[in-house]
Structure 1
Amino acid sequence: MNGKMTISRLAEAAAVHVETVRFYQRSGLIDEPARPDSGYRTYGSADVRRIRFVKRAQLLGFTLDEIASLLKLEGSQTCASTRELAARKLAMVEAKLSDLLAMQSALATMVSRCDSEGPGAGCPMIQALIDD
């Protein structure tokens, strides 16, 4: 990958859409290079790495604001700050997971009630939602 890519080549190299690149520029996550006399802005491999960083961080559940904070820490000796951001995200994921497991259990109970009730007995799921 050479150091001079158009926005479409950048998007292709980073496996995103051109509009994603533009959105990241508007959000301040990547810089928009100056437009030279030729009219075509060019990007380099550092831009590809930065976009891939953003996409991987999003997959881990970080918001764009959190990613911007991580990018500000990039390259500095602030591992403790980075760890704190990741620890907060982990706690949030664990809480969501706990909520999802509780939902799974409640829904499984409701489905099994529906399976065990005979016809004409009313819907135990609807009744459980009314009663609880």
Structure 2
Amino acid sequence: MKIGELARATATKVTTIRFYEQIGVLETPARTSSGRRTYGDGDVDRLNFVRNGRRLGFSIDEIRSLLALADQPERDCAEAAEIAARHLVGVEDRLRQLSALRDELAAMSASGCCARTMAECRVIQAIARPAA
């Protein structure tokens, strides 16, 4: 299939496919005699893996590591589980940060702002205040 067909099959922009090829997450595709890239089912699977990994928040480096592991089907999966566990710790940390942010924004919004000018605005003052 051509790059446009791969893009449609995976709901991925052509520029993103080219970027993934450039950084080595996708293998350099075979080319026709006229120089057009050609892709197969394996490329669809690999690109879907990358897209799903990104959707789950894995970094490019983590995806690279997971792909390298996936390319060795007989290998023990402990290393993949370790990558996922480390990623989960990061997700949980971000969730705590987002929860604190939500609480702060809720308190800021609930306090209401009856000021007449921006100089007296509680929302602006709360944002300008240094973090604790």
TM range (shorter): 0.7 to 0.9
Contact 2:30-2:39 within 8 A present in 1 as well: no
TM-score, with structure 2 as normaliser = 0.81
Distance (whole Å) between structure 1 residues aligned to residue 68 and residue 19 of structure 2: 18
* Structure 1 residue 95, shift from structure 2 partner: 0.5
Flag the structure with more relative contact order, 1 or 2, with Cα contacts below 8 A and sequence separation at least 6.
Answer: 1
Q: Does structure 1 residue 26 correspond to structure 2 residue 43?
A: no
Distance (whole Å) between structure 2 residues aligned to residue 93 and residue 100 of structure 1: 10
* Structure 1 residue 46, shift from structure 2 partner: 0.5
Counterpart of 2:13 in structure 1 is 17
Structure 2 spans left out of the alignment, 5+ residues: none
Counterpart of 1:85 in structure 2 is 83
Q: Which whole-Å deviations, capped at 9, do the CAs of 1:1-53 have from their partners, x for residues lacking one?
A: xxxx1122122212212111111111111111343434333211000000000
TM-score, with structure 1 as normaliser = 0.81
Counterpart of 2:37 in structure 1 is 41
User: What value does the CA root-mean-square deviation take over the aligned residues?
Assistant: 2.2
Contact 2:10-2:47 within 8 A present in 1 as well: yes
Instruction: Give identity over the alignment, percent.
Output: 44
Contact 1:10-1:43 within 8 A present in 2 as well: yes
SS of residue matched to 1:114: coil
Give the structure with higher Rg (CA): 1
